[in-house]
Structure 1
Amino acid sequence: MSDNQQNNSTPEYEVEIPGREQLLELVTSNSKPVQFDEFIRHFGLDDERQAIGLKRRLRAMERDGQLIYSKANAYGLPERMDLIKGRIIGHKDGFGFCQTEDGGKDLFIPHHQMYSVLHGDRVLVKTSGKDSRGRTEGRIVRVTEPRDSNIVGRYFVEHDLGIVVPDDGRISQDILIPDADKNGARHGQLVVVEITRRPSRRTSPIGRVSEVLGEHMAPGMEIQVAIREHDIPTEWPTEVDEELKKYSEEVPAEAYEGRKDLRDLPLITIDGEDSRDFDDAVCCVQEEKGWRLWVAIADVSYYVRPDTVLDKAATERGNSVYFPSNVIPMLPEKLSNGLCSLNPDVDRLCMVAEMELGPRGKLKSTEFYPAVMKSHARLTYNKVKKLLDGDEELQQQYQHVMDNVQELERLYNALSAARKRRSAIEFDTQETRFIFNAQRKIESIEPVKRHVAHKIIEECMIMANVASAQLIESDKEVGALFRVHETPADERLNNFRSFLGELGLNLEGGDEPSPKDYATLLEQVKDRQDHELIETMLLRSMQQAVYQPENKGHFGLALKSYAHFTSPIRRYPDLILHRAIKAILRKKKGEEKGLVGAWAYSDKQLDELGVHTSMTERRADDATRQVDEWLKCEFMLDHIGMEFEGVISSVTNFGLFVRLSDYQIDGLIHISNLDNDYYHFDQQKGMLIGENSNSVFRLGDNVKVKVKDVNLDDRKIDLTLLEATSPGGQKRNMPAKGSGKGKRKGQSRGKGGQRKSGNRSSNKGRSKS
């Protein structure tokens, strides 16, 4: 909040006026809204400057949604006026929803209510009955916090009038651009617009072009759009360079003090071919009753100290964002690829989890401590696989670490068996990667093959994360953020069960299925043709993992305690955990040596950081997904007219989404592209049924399709159905064109959004791929 809530004396008003808490206390204690004169009398504010300061503060509280100024010229509490705080989520068809702050069910916002707000605005809403579909409608009372005014879109000139069509389909208003504010933008270019006048019920928003990004087909433009559209920070404050100047390219001499010397331990890094920031190194030796495993993690907390400019910048970013062939790092390159990266044959600071594991992979004990290490080899996943497969040339080259590699594999076998015993959910979904040519255009899309080397590192990291979570849980004074994955939600679970029912499958466990029930199902379907689709639907049935200070376990991994310890270069929650571990160690040892960067967070700080870092993770996921969709559409431009095999991945009232088997790309068979018939959508069963032809299209059906069209602006691929086959293998002949009765029930027509300027056609009402 902009002003001090605790003290009455507020420098910004230059006079003594009541704080927000006192004002709220007065309004709360009254049975009716409080008028301005009552505030003056109650607090004895005789000075005219105090009255002016009070009025400003009350207006600020209005903007923050703490108070409502009523038609009776009095200030009341929103909750007593049945007003709901929330955030507007726009829809491409012009209507929207209010995502409530209290976590309640979203309110439906009809078209006419959306004219005066933008996607992302924070608002106060009052419920206004039910719509024809039984949804609770909301009426917007006030915008309490406008969204960031910078919007990315394409600039067009129509009838000598400049407009920008937002790239984000959830913003359905075109933005008018006065000629004096076009900033040199040309027709068709991608631009960033600053809103200078917000929309109203009668007028479109007006803006000025603050930045011209360039031609929308330029290489890398999709990343520039995603960065701005999702407000991902890319610039470092100038003060960061000043803070980094105190560090050279080598570990500071004073940093060695108080640390264990592990430079002779044959620690190795195992990462992808193109990795540049190495968070973790591992070493494993066999013991009489199991193994000893060292997981050494870059000691970022030594360099990134709390409350510095660098720390604040890292907090704002929350995590690194990985785009194809590009990364927006959480830390400056001097740290992420330099001092903090566990590069081979150089001294590096690290935090170590030294774990004792039993012969069946059970964690028996852990010791955490700061250390200095030297990586003995930088291995890739492919090299490790070849080493374990017996590549003699590589084995000779890496003879000095072969014992470590082989022991890691033996440990992995024990940990993998333990994972199966606890019934952790193991997915085998197919991931892909883009192969670019010299012009940064996609040359091909290739599957990413996971093998034993990936799984070795994954299991080692899981053990270190479990050990760190247990340490935090054992201490009652120092907290950190747990990685929490709760049990599946009711509605998603019911939808998933309906989907399985259509395939003749069942998920055991009733209303509260366990990880074992999910693991059993995955085992049953692993050899089916549609197993990837089933795994995808299973993932959709689950809740999203979040960061929070309260431990509620990790459902997917079937673990009671889990935290992120292993990637502080690219995830801020891991850095928080490192600081907390150091604080615990300092408390136990009573000394600072080797524990520079220790920090014990307050409960309030952890609550806020949990919400923030969960948001930045979602932001990164959304941005990378948007770029992937754009690149896939660009790739498919060269495949228009070609035929592909695929599987129906989603059924809606407006058509069928199909995942192309060759590339794992989704396209849409719009209902208008199905053969002529009346089609009915069965939401419960996830089916589209032809009234006359009796054609039934459901999740999991194998299909043959042709690419009809690709729309880059909407990131949408249109397909035409050629042939459909049920999951059981039964081929269904498609009805001849022209049969049926001409209309398609269930077709989503939409209203074309809220385009108030020009008559340029738009496909915003069509679904994106």
Structure 2
Amino acid sequence: MTDNNASNSNDQTTPQYDVEIPSRDELLELVTERLKPVPFDDFITHFKLQDERQHIGVKRRLRAMERDGQLVYTKANCYGLPERMQLVRGTIIGHRDGFGFCRPDDGGKDIFIPHHQMYSVLHGDKVLIKPAGTDNRGRAEGRVVRVVEPRDSNIVGRYFVENDLGIVVPDDSRISQDILIPHADNLGARHGQLVVVTITRRPNRRTSPIGKVYEILGDHMAPGMEIEIAIREHDIPNEWPEGIDAELEKYSEEVPKEAYDGRVDLRELPLITIDGEDSRDFDDAVCALPEEKGWRLWVAIADVSYYVKPSTQLDNEAVNRGNSVYFPNNVIPMLPEKLSNGLCSLNPNVDRLCMVAEMEIGPRGKLKNSRFYPAVMNSHARLTYTKVKQILDGDAELREQYKNVLSNIEELHNVYKALATVRKQRSAIEFDTQETRFIFNAHRKIERIEPVKRHVAHKIIEECMIAANVASARLIESEEEIGALFRVHEAPADERLTSFRAFLGELGLSLGGGDKPTPSDYGKLLEEVKDRPDHELIETMLLRSMQQAVYQSENEGHFGLALKSYSHFTSPIRRYPDLILHRAIKSILRKREGTEQALTGAWAYSERELEDLGVHCSMTERRADDATRQVDEWLKCEFMLDHIGMEFSGVVSSVTNFGLFVRLDEYQIDGLVHISNLGDDYYQYDNQKGLLIGENTRTVYRLGDKVQVRVKTVDLDERKIDLSLIAAESPAGKQRKRNSGKTQRKKSQGGKKPTNKKPQKGNKGKGKKSS
């Protein structure tokens, strides 16, 4: 009966007892063996605990297990197993309309939580749920039995004063309760300001939550406020802990002399970096030289593992962050700037440490052989995607300016064409969706939104990176004792596949492959629709039907790229899984070759460590995606404030029971035409086919319909754009007019000014290269 509590609990503050008491596993074993819940005295008797201190210790441990959801304390004062009581442990996902869902920890469908059950919980709480049949829409419904683990993150919202009472309205619409703020705890916040709040008393069925202001962010429309909100709402670490500076002090601005020992010297090789115009950290450099049978391709990646050692504060914070987070005109880096933009960045004309994937590429694009090694390099040029395209298009001035690396650029282009042929043969799914970027003025207000065009230079780098990622995955697979994280992308799930097929059916299209479509089936579909005016919408819906790629230690292939083995090797400055892989590769090289100095930073992870890191890094990636998406939505709404009353063409991008979402052609921004604004009929929603159908006119609205809309209102707090429909045209070409009056297309319209009124809650219905 040893105390192994630390290894079986998520509670890091559980005390260590000075007497011997049963472990959690032993207590659970007893409860599992019994046919009914176990009273406290039975634990004392079974384990023969005589000392009063043992009784106290067991009681505390049982309470901790109850708090963690391992046990349930019944009304009969006994301890039972949640699963035997048909209880489900999960996370509360709030909804802007006041109801919510419980997402089970062990997977399965979300459980609907009705409005009255949400009074005593908050979005993000860990809870135990008792299933309670189905609601009138056939959804599994549950009631909240207990909050197992309250959300520990602060809440961002706007502070208002009403009748001398402070109230914070959460910015996150999934939190439907307003938070009361005692005057003594408002930190001097003014009416309308954005603040960060800590909950001091949780809500219950009769009272609202109470909190205190922890931080004042500033005025609602201040430049950059959208990023400050996203950082805090998504708990993105953005401050360096104490001790980081001390660890950085030992590094100068130049590579340490001792680091050159044992490395391959590639300083004469014409390696170049190719990135976006606004990039500041350069992870990768490339070079291709022709050979008798194909090419030799070098992909040199910043050797971050030399500087960031396991178990240091630098490393701990890199794990905590998981990845860099890229916002428009801003970045929260995974590593401090001294490394990310300095020593680890492959800047031109300076020596840098790197890990190299040297590959033999056959004349038809097949990856024949590869080897990995630590090296020192000196980038011969810092090029942008735009310049490379212009050079390949024959720009005489640029070709003269970069004549020292011109042959390398041309050979990289040749390698790309061979690799692209192989990519097409294996039927990798290629998306060509339209991306946009924000152009800001000097006051950090959006001046315009521009489309981002991917061209041949982007694809050259993408194929080189994929080749290196494949080669590194194969290396890890070849080694039984040393593992790393694979980048895994599974085939689409059944439910998403069914929805996607229904969507295609409405457009007169189909997807081959039956219940198990292959990447080839998706490729054929994309080829079929590439010339359609709604091809971007179809590609977007196809992308939504896919699973999200994750990091894990077990290789299950990459469906989208149609690859059996794939990992992330190419961006250790901004992704922690890549750093893990670099350390693993160094461990393999040390094991095989025994070189010491050049392999500083080698580390072999245990299987358990890799499993935990895979889950964590997948989470931090989703966290970054959610935060950047939120900022994009805010900025788009802010931009559209100046376009209220203007008319735009668009396409129906989603159909719901409460209206149509329309994507504006000019800006790729989505807005809602509420069902009440359709106006000339009562509309019913066909859930199976995803249609809105007029009861009397039989007018049908579906995905892909071309429409003319007017911007009606913009709600910045809710990040919502409301549109009114002027005219619609179905894919068959039938025109449908709206009785909306005459409106001229305006070139400029004053934006709606925000008010200081409390917003009403109600029916709210950069690009980095990566694969």
Q: Could you tell me the TM-score, scaled by structure 2's length?
A: 0.95
Which of 170, 178, 182 in structure 1 is aligned with 2:174? 170
1-structure distance, mates of 2:103, 2:713: 34
2-structure distance, mates of 1:292, 1:44: 72
Amino acid paired to 1:246 = K
Q: Is residue 107–residue 135 contact of structure 1 (8 Å, CA) maintained in 2?
A: yes
Q: How do 1:576-591 residues align onto structure 2 when only pairs under 5 Å count?
A: 576-591=580-595
Amino acid paired to 2:764 = R
1-structure distance, mates of 2:122, 2:93: 8
> In the alignment, is residue 286 of structure 1 matched against residue 284 of structure 2?
no
2-structure distance, mates of 1:572, 1:126: 38
> In the alignment, is residue 765 of structure 1 matched against residue 763 of structure 2?
yes
Query: What is residue 304 of structure 2 aligned with on the other side?
Result: 300
2-structure distance, mates of 1:5, 1:28: 20
1-structure distance, mates of 2:671, 2:579: 40
Q: How do 1:207-218 residues align onto structure 2 when only pairs under 5 Å count?
A: 207-218=211-222
Query: What is residue 151 of structure 2 aligned with on the other side?
Result: 147
Q: Secondary structure at the match of 2:16?
A: helix
Q: Is residue 127–residue 147 contact of structure 2 (8 Å, CA) maintained in 1?
A: yes
> In the alignment, is residue 617 of structure 1 matched against residue 615 of structure 2?
no
The Cα of 1:3 is off from its aligned counterpart by 4.2
> In the alignment, is residue 4 of structure 1 matched against residue 6 of structure 2?
yes
> In the alignment, is residue 549 of structure 1 matched against residue 547 of structure 2?
no
The Cα of 1:523 is off from its aligned counterpart by 0.7
Amino acid paired to 2:589 = L
Q: Is residue 435–residue 442 contact of structure 1 (8 Å, CA) maintained in 2?
A: yes
The Cα of 1:11 is off from its aligned counterpart by 6.5
2-structure distance, mates of 1:158, 1:109: 31
> In the alignment, is residue 438 of structure 1 matched against residue 442 of structure 2?
yes
Q: How do 1:407-418 residues align onto structure 2 when only pairs under 5 Å count?
A: 407-418=411-422
Q: How do 1:215-294 residues align onto structure 2 when only pairs under 5 Å count?
A: 215-294=219-298
Q: Is residue 547–residue 611 contact of structure 1 (8 Å, CA) maintained in 2?
A: yes
The Cα of 1:62 is off from its aligned counterpart by 1.1
Of 679-688 and 326-335, more deviation after overlay is shown by 679-688
1-structure distance, mates of 2:387, 2:81: 64
2-structure distance, mates of 1:20, 1:244: 42
State the Cα deviation string for residues 31-84 of structure 1 (Å, max 9, x = none): 222222222222232222222222211111111111111112121221222211
2-structure distance, mates of 1:213, 1:486: 41
Of 592-601 and 90-99, more deviation after overlay is shown by 592-601
2-structure distance, mates of 1:229, 1:337: 27
2-structure distance, mates of 1:6, 1:653: 46
1-structure distance, mates of 2:275, 2:322: 22
Moved over 4 A (4+): none
State the Cα deviation string for residues 181-230 of structure 1 (Å, max 9, x = none): 11111111110000000011111100001111111100000000000000
Query: What is residue 569 of structure 1 aligned with on the other side?
Result: 573
Q: Is residue 4–residue 24 contact of structure 2 (8 Å, CA) maintained in 1?
A: no
Q: Is residue 272–residue 381 contact of structure 2 (8 Å, CA) maintained in 1?
A: yes
State the Cα deviation string for residues 635-666 of structure 1 (Å, max 9, x = none): 00000000000000000000000000000000
1-structure distance, mates of 2:689, 2:740: 26
Of 586-595 and 699-708, more deviation after overlay is shown by 586-595
1-structure distance, mates of 2:487, 2:762: 37
Q: Is residue 5–residue 21 contact of structure 1 (8 Å, CA) maintained in 2?
A: no
1-structure distance, mates of 2:681, 2:393: 57
Q: How do 1:376-455 residues align onto structure 2 when only pairs under 5 Å count?
A: 376-455=380-459
Q: Is residue 149–residue 195 contact of structure 1 (8 Å, CA) maintained in 2?
A: no
> In the alignment, is residue 320 of structure 1 matched against residue 318 of structure 2?
no
Q: Is residue 717–residue 759 contact of structure 2 (8 Å, CA) maintained in 1?
A: no
Amino acid paired to 2:644 = I
Amino acid paired to 1:504 = G
2-structure distance, mates of 1:593, 1:761: 61
2-structure distance, mates of 1:594, 1:116: 57
Q: Is residue 478–residue 601 contact of structure 1 (8 Å, CA) maintained in 2?
A: yes
1-structure distance, mates of 2:16, 2:407: 66
State the Cα deviation string for residues 455-503 of structure 1 (Å, max 9, x = none): 0000000000011111111111111111111111111111111111111
1-structure distance, mates of 2:32, 2:509: 55
Query: What is residue 722 of structure 2 aligned with on the other side?
Result: 718
The Cα of 1:513 is off from its aligned counterpart by 0.8
> In the alignment, is residue 368 of structure 1 matched against residue 372 of structure 2?
yes
The Cα of 1:15 is off from its aligned counterpart by 2.6
2-structure distance, mates of 1:323, 1:149: 21
2-structure distance, mates of 1:765, 1:604: 45
The Cα of 1:148 is off from its aligned counterpart by 1.7
Q: How do 1:295-694 residues align onto structure 2 when only pairs under 5 Å count?
A: 295-694=299-698
2-structure distance, mates of 1:735, 1:160: 47
2-structure distance, mates of 1:131, 1:11: 44
Amino acid paired to 2:708 = K
Q: Secondary structure at the match of 1:620?
A: helix
2-structure distance, mates of 1:90, 1:246: 47
Q: Could you tell me the TM-score, scaled by structure 1's length?
A: 0.95
Amino acid paired to 2:192 = G
Query: What is residue 123 of structure 1 aligned with on the other side?
Result: 127
2-structure distance, mates of 1:242, 1:175: 41
Q: Secondary structure at the match of 1:13?
A: coil
Q: Is residue 152–residue 229 contact of structure 1 (8 Å, CA) maintained in 2?
A: yes
2-structure distance, mates of 1:60, 1:46: 22
- State the aligned residue count: 744
Amino acid paired to 2:174 = R
Q: Is residue 149–residue 193 contact of structure 1 (8 Å, CA) maintained in 2?
A: no
Q: Is residue 530–residue 727 contact of structure 1 (8 Å, CA) maintained in 2?
A: no
State the Cα deviation string for residues 89-116 of structure 1 (Å, max 9, x = none): 1111111111001111111111111111
> In the alignment, is residue 729 of structure 1 matched against residue 733 of structure 2?
yes
The Cα of 1:27 is off from its aligned counterpart by 1.9
The Cα of 1:315 is off from its aligned counterpart by 0.5
The Cα of 1:394 is off from its aligned counterpart by 1.2
Which of 94, 99, 104 in structure 2 is aligned with 1:95? 99
The Cα of 1:695 is off from its aligned counterpart by 1.5
Q: Is residue 298–residue 568 contact of structure 1 (8 Å, CA) maintained in 2?
A: yes
The Cα of 1:149 is off from its aligned counterpart by 4.3
In structure 2, stretches of 5+ residues that fail to align are: 742-756, 766-771
The Cα of 1:761 is off from its aligned counterpart by 5.9
2-structure distance, mates of 1:2, 1:22: 10
Query: What is residue 752 of structure 2 aligned with on the other side?
Result: none
2-structure distance, mates of 1:131, 1:231: 34
Identity of aligned residues (%): 76
CA RMSD of aligned residues (A): 1.6
> In the alignment, is residue 24 of structure 1 matched against residue 22 of structure 2?
no
1-structure distance, mates of 2:31, 2:257: 59
Q: Is residue 5–residue 19 contact of structure 1 (8 Å, CA) maintained in 2?
A: no
Query: What is residue 184 of structure 2 aligned with on the other side?
Result: 180
Query: What is residue 747 of structure 1 aligned with on the other side?
Result: none
Q: Secondary structure at the match of 2:666?
A: coil
State the Cα deviation string for residues 216-265 of structure 1 (Å, max 9, x = none): 10000000000000000001111111111111111112211111111111
Query: What is residue 73 of structure 1 aligned with on the other side?
Result: 77
Q: Is residue 128–residue 137 contact of structure 1 (8 Å, CA) maintained in 2?
A: yes
1-structure distance, mates of 2:170, 2:735: 43
Amino acid paired to 1:216 = H
The Cα of 1:736 is off from its aligned counterpart by 8.1
The Cα of 1:732 is off from its aligned counterpart by 2.3
The Cα of 1:23 is off from its aligned counterpart by 1.7
Amino acid paired to 1:223 = I
Of 48-57 and 399-408, more deviation after overlay is shown by 48-57
Q: Secondary structure at the match of 2:598?
A: coil
1-structure distance, mates of 2:306, 2:676: 60
2-structure distance, mates of 1:277, 1:533: 33
Amino acid paired to 1:4 = A
